[in-house]
Amino acid sequence: MREIIKMVVVLTVLSAFSGGLLAAIRGETKVKIEDQQLKFVKGPAINKILEGCSNDPIADRFKIKDGDIERSFFVGVFDGKANRFAFEGTGKGFGGDIGLMVGVNIDNDQIVGMGVTTHSETPGIGSKAKTDPKFSDQFKGLAAIEPCKVKPDGGGIDAISGATVTSRGVCVGVTNAANIYKRLKPQIAEKLKEFK
Amino acid sequence: MAKSITQEFTKGLWDEIPPFRLVLGLCPTLAVTKSVENGLGMGVAVIFVLVCSNMLVSLLRNIIPPKVRIACFIVIIATFVIVVELLMQAYTYPLFLKLGIFIPLIVVNCVVLGRAEAFAYKNGIVRSIVDGFGIGAGFTISLVAIGALREVFGSGTFFGIPVFGPSFQPFTFMIEAPGAFVCLGLMLSLMNLAGNE
């Protein structure tokens, strides 16, 4: 009996100590990890979308509460005006979720650029959504308040050959982003005024 | 006869060098050694986990009941592995992306559990720390050696720096999975050859 109690006590104390230590370290590194992810995963896409801006979009970011989720917006200052920003959207692709960044110009509601950040599409086929500029450049200049579709679905986007599902997923992601934009536009406009 | 402290350290570098002599921890050995950088990063992570877990296991060896020792070892090892994982994410993110799933898998690395069970549970704290360092260093050297071989021939670079002229045609077989087995086999046979003399 004494042995069993000892086993239970030792394991419990050990696990509790371990849990406490990990929670403390996680708390310490949380902000840093978020920064690193922004820099290496989303950073390249953000910088490409907001190419030519005079500030650092990753440093100049703000968050808006959208229901239960907090969404991050990355501000790009052009000619002294903070009128463009990039934010995240997700769609379902062939191999799982596709994460992408969409840049919008709030003055004319136009998409200024789109870049895929994370995906698990087939390398060499669906993965072109991330690497082929011919595909991603098609989104430039589209209206950010309308749903976006590939040509077979009656839209204006040329799908990547052999990867219609992926292309459709990207379009859904952009449409989702557009819906977020429509919903949060007043708050975004308010926040953008702080960046001059 | 008890070994001296120096012997405890050096045994990990040759007599008991993990992948070659003990033939333990082969999963990361084969999987992450596509380049020297990956091998080194993995090795350093394993050294940290080994030293910390050996230290703690040795410190608690009189408290941990024998019947639940494996469970206790796993809790200790898993804790330090997650510490490494979080630190890597925070400070060396590109390396973390390359090593990916193999960092969490250190939890079930036989080298770490093996040292806790076979050494740290029976020896004092100083010896256990030295043993962890030695075995960890041996593991790192092995990974770097295999990584160097595969990177030099498979992509023509060493630590990302080109070593051959532009006319070099990379022998891509080496950085694919079968190349890892061939490299390991060659090095094992060389080690045995050297050890028999």
Q: What pLDDT, on the 0 to 100 scale, is given for residue A22?
A: 94
Sequence-distant (6+) residues with CB within 8 A of A10 are B63, B64, B65, B68, B72
In chain A, residues with a C-beta closer than 8 Å to the C-beta of B71 are 11
Q: Which of B60, B61, B67, B86 to mutate to test the interface with A (most CBs of A within 10 A)?
A: B86
Q: Which residues of A touch B (CB under 8 A)?
A: 3, 6-7, 10-11, 14-15, 18, 21-22, 25-26, 29, 32-33, 36-37, 39-40
Q: With an 8 Å Cβ cutoff, are A14 and B72 in contact? A: yes
Domain extent at residue B87: 5-191
Summarised one tens digit per residue, pLDDT across range A99-112 is: 888 888 888 888 88
Residue B196 within a domain: no
Contact: B83, A22; criterion CB under 8 Å: yes
Q: What was the pLDDT predicted at B197?
A: 56
Asked if B89 is an interface residue toward chain A (Cβ–Cβ < 8 A), one would say yes
| pLDDT score recorded for residue B6 | 84
Instruction: Give the ranges where A52-155 is alpha helix by DSSP (H).
Output: 128-131, 133-136
Confidence band of A23 (pLDDT split at 50, 70, 90): very high
User: Do A15 and B94 make contact, defined as CB atoms within 8 angstroms?
Assistant: no
Q: Is the Cβ pair A36, B75 closer than 8 Å?
A: no
Output the pLDDT for position A14.
Answer: 93
Q: How far apart are CA A118 and CA A88, in angstroms?
A: 11
**A:B CB pairs within 8 Å:** 55
For residue B101, the model assigns a pLDDT of 83
Instruction: Identify the CA nearest to B31 among candidates B191, B176, B190.
Output: B176
Q: How far apart are CA B174 and CA B185, in angstroms?
A: 13
Nearest CA in chain B to A23: B83
* CB interface of B with A, residues 16-75, below 8 Å: 60, 63-65, 67-68, 71-72, 75
Q: How far is A36 from chain B (nearest CA, A)?
A: 6
> What does the angle CA A186 – CA A187 – CA A193 come to, to the nearest 5 degrees?
95
- For chain A, helix, strand, coil in percent to 5 are 45, 25, 30
Q: Which amino acid is it at A79? A: D
pLDDT in tens, A181-192: 888 888 888 888
Low pLDDT (below 70) residues in chain B:
1-2, 196-197
Q: Average pLDDT of chain A? A: 84
Selected for mutation to probe chain B from A4, A29, A118 (highest B CB count within 10 Å) is: A29
The predicted pLDDT at position B1 comes to: 44
**Interface contact flag, A32 B91, Cβ < 8 Å:** yes
- The confidence band for A19, taking pLDDT boundaries of 50, 70 and 90, is very high
Quote the pLDDT of residue A11. 92
Token reading at B143: 């990974």
pLDDT of residue A192: 81
Determine the pLDDT at residue B2: 63
- Say what the pLDDT of residue B108 is: 85
Q: How many domains are there within chain B?
A: 1
Task: Say if residue A116's pLDDT is above 70.
Answer: yes
Q: Could you tell me the pLDDT band of residue A51, with boundaries at 50, 70 and 90?
A: confident
pLDDT of residue B57: 93
| Bridging pattern class, strands A110-118 and B161-162 | unpaired
Residue B14 lies in a domain: yes
Q: Is the dihedral of CA B149, B150, B155, B160 positive or negative?
A: negative
Nearest CA of chain B to the CA of A121: how many Å? Answer: 17
Token digits of residue B36: 């020297």
- If you average pLDDT over residues A161-173, what whole number do you get? 87
